[in-house]
Structure 1
Amino acid sequence: MNTLPASMIAIDPDAPGCPEVLEPVERPVPRPASGEVLIKVEAAGVNRPDVAQRLGHYPPPPGAPTIPGLEVAGTIVAGPNIGARVCALVAGGGYAQYCVAPLGQCLPVPDTLSMIEAAAIPETLFTVWSNVFQRAYAREGETILVHGGTSGIGTTAILLGKLFGLTVIVTGGSPEKCARALEIGAAHAIDYRNQDFVEEVKRITGGHGVEIVLDMVGGDYLRRNLACLAEEGRHVSIAAQRGAKVELALWNVMLRRLTLTGSTLRARSVEFKTLLRDEIERLLWPEVEAGRFRPVMDKTFPLEQAADAHRRMESGDHVGKIVLEVR
């Protein structure tokens, strides 16, 4: 630890606001506690929750850094396994030159991935895996509807669906985005601005419906999503961009035996995330090491241009993951 600098460059705004608040500042280099490692960050993923935090809508959980950033890749420089190349899921602190992570939330970076690609994996992968395969218990041969098919979550769901035998239907906001989703591997893409996705799902599935809906929209989408579900279908909520309140006819849920579930990841315990990491490392990481799973990348920005990265995300023009490169 004595060879480490005392301070580092980080993005740590004092108050909520527009992207301009994401200015580089000097902060102390954090020190890992027992069971944690200190990572010299080479790249950090940018995710929608980072934008919500910047706007003041998604404060860090107790004990987490105020520095945004939920996923990093780099080299361990303090704690166990010094010198190991890892990517990690963190509860905050990623937009910085150094970041502390629980050892149980780290995954090895294989030669098949660049550090920038590795930094684009943990947040969306842990989220999709825990919600689609654990909460919705997706099985080979089933069909899933994913909203926002070209987002980080959406592209990850497409890639995992391809690997594990799911038919993936996505929605997108333009013909161009739908075409890109099909290129990535979606079986069907619905332009929600010009098509009724409920009617399209019924047409695509021959009236059967989908077994799973992965939804980050919420609000008035919920009733429409339920209309897309087959009997015994599972609806998984992971965000509520159009609102968290909605009225439902419970008879519809009861008669068709639907399951409504959902989760958030950031505030879950280290123990839960470690078990999730173990399952991902066992079942998916061989695919990563073989080069059969790699994230869809959009654009990379220097850490000092975090404001531009957030503008890119808020524009909605991105396809796949936005990453900050830390020099």
Structure 2
Amino acid sequence: MRVIGTAGTEEGLSLVQQAGAHYTFNHRDPNYIDEIKNVTGTHGVDVVIENAAHINLGNDLTLLAMKGRVAVVGSRGPIEVNPRDTMSRESSILGVMLFGATEKELEESYAAIQAGIKNKWLSPIIGKEFSLVNASDALIMILFMVKEH
């Protein structure tokens, strides 16, 4: 598998690369879609995990391979897309939300994460640590980051 990651800053691109992406692109670069198409050639992208569908979904659909899939894990509003981009590729758009997971699915997810960390094929990048006493500061930081993006 070849992993392609995008970010909007040099720091973000560095994190994406540290996380294991083979190719990284700045999604603020007006030519990044063409650059991804150059990397994937005529095949396209098999899976997109989309955190900002309200901005990127239209572009995602043009990058997909035949039978490709977009998993939407984040969106902040509506977007207009061209259905022909899904039809011509026989692709799928899947909505993914943790709150809809069953207890069994959550247990399986947690087990997979723990196994990945134990076996070292999953290594989270820790940007900052907080003591339990300062847990509320961590929450404020997360909320601020979400609001900014």
User: Fold conserved (TM > 0.5)?
Assistant: yes
The alignment covers a number of residue pairs equal to: 145
Q: Distance in 1 between matches of 2:58 and 2:120?
A: 39
Q: Which has the higher helix share?
A: 2
- Give 1 or 2 for the bigger CA radius of gyration: 1
Q: Distance in 1 between matches of 2:62 and 2:2?
A: 18
Q: Distance in 1 between matches of 2:23 and 2:30?
A: 13
Q: Deviations over 1:13-45 (max 9, x none)?
A: xxxxxxxxxxxxxxxxxxxxxxxxxxxxxxxxx
Q: Which has the higher strand share?
A: 1
Tell me the residue number matched to 1:238.
73
Is the CA contact 2:5–2:24 (under 8 Å) kept in the aligned structure 1?
Answer: yes
Matched, 1:197 2:32: yes
Tell me the residue number matched to 1:125.
none
Tell me the residue number matched to 2:86.
253
Tell me the residue number matched to 2:45.
210
| Aligned partner letter, 2:45 | V
| Aligned partner letter, 1:271 | K
| Aligned partner letter, 1:270 | E
Matched, 1:308 2:140: no
How far does residue 249 in structure 1 lie from its aligned partner after superposition?
Answer: 2.5
Q: Distance in 2 between matches of 1:176 and 1:240?
A: 23
Greater RCO between the two (CA within 8 Å, min separation 6)? 1
Q: Please report the RMSD computed on the Cα atoms of aligned residues, expressed in angstroms.
A: 2.5
Q: Deviations over 1:62-119 (max 9, x none)?
A: xxxxxxxxxxxxxxxxxxxxxxxxxxxxxxxxxxxxxxxxxxxxxxxxxxxxxxxxxx
Is the CA contact 2:64–2:89 (under 8 Å) kept in the aligned structure 1?
Answer: no
Instruction: Indicate the SS of the match to 2:13.
Output: helix
Matched, 1:263 2:74: no
**Sequence identity (%):** 24
Matched, 1:227 2:56: no
Instruction: Indicate the SS of the match to 2:3.
Output: strand
Instruction: Indicate the SS of the match to 2:98.
Output: coil
Instruction: Indicate the SS of the match to 2:54.
Output: coil
Instruction: Indicate the SS of the match to 1:298.
Output: coil
Q: Deviations over 1:143-186 (max 9, x none)?
A: xxxxxxxxxxxxxxxxxxxxxxx211111111232133223321
How far does residue 307 in structure 1 lie from its aligned partner after superposition?
Answer: 4.2
Tell me the residue number matched to 1:173.
8
Matches within 5 A, 1:48-87: none
How far does residue 230 in structure 1 lie from its aligned partner after superposition?
Answer: 1.3
Unaligned runs of 5+ in 2: none
Q: Distance in 1 between matches of 2:103 and 2:15?
A: 36
